[in-house]
Amino acid sequence: MKLKVCGMRESDNIRELMEVKPDFMGMIFYPKSARYVEESPQTDLDVATVGVFVNESTEVIKEKSKKFGFEMVQLHGSESVEQAKELKQLGFTVIKVFGVMDQLPLEDMKPYESTVDYFLFDTKTPQHGGSGQKFDWSILESYDLEKPFFLSGGIDLEDLESIKALNIPQLYAVDINSRFEIAPAVKDIQKIKSFKHQL
């Protein structure tokens, strides 16, 4: 299973994370987020970097992608199928997020299935993620689409066994964030290292 560490920003912290070698690293470009990124980190990024956006224009996504040098985008708002398709045509790998509480929005997801590369399921909150809250993972058993997905939402070190027990072939990666923080956008690297080692 792959590991994505989201909400990174600080250069020294990112440099330490590079030694852990996660599969993906997310940087958040949502101004209302406590983990909002304004400046490019002063370090080499030896990892697949994901730009996280909420209801942003394609032009801004292109601009930020060029500035920060990433080829993957995570659409964390109510972005349309048309915009996802446009970003795919521009060469991006696209992750489309769906907020979940007590059931999967399968009908809402189906129009995106032929366009995006991955889905991501996060706990539905007004803040568009980073809440540290979990949803009921048992509802993932109803997932019958072929598209691989990332699991997010309040994941902590003690959730490893529950995640492994899910046994869902389409579960491609685990996305960790706020439960591994010392402060917003500052991660506990040893805790991440322990999680990755056991994943």
Residue positions annotated with a catalytic role: 6, 122
How many Cβ atoms sit within 10 Å of the Cβ of residue 143?
18
SS3 state of residue 161: helix
Please, which residues have CB within 8 angstroms of residue 105's CB and are 6 or more apart in sequence? 98
Q: Exposure string (b/e) for 32-66, b if CB count within 10 Å is 16 or more?
A: ebebbbeeebeeebebbbbbbbbebebeebeebbe
SS3 of residue 154 by DSSP: coil
* DSSP structure class, residue 102: S
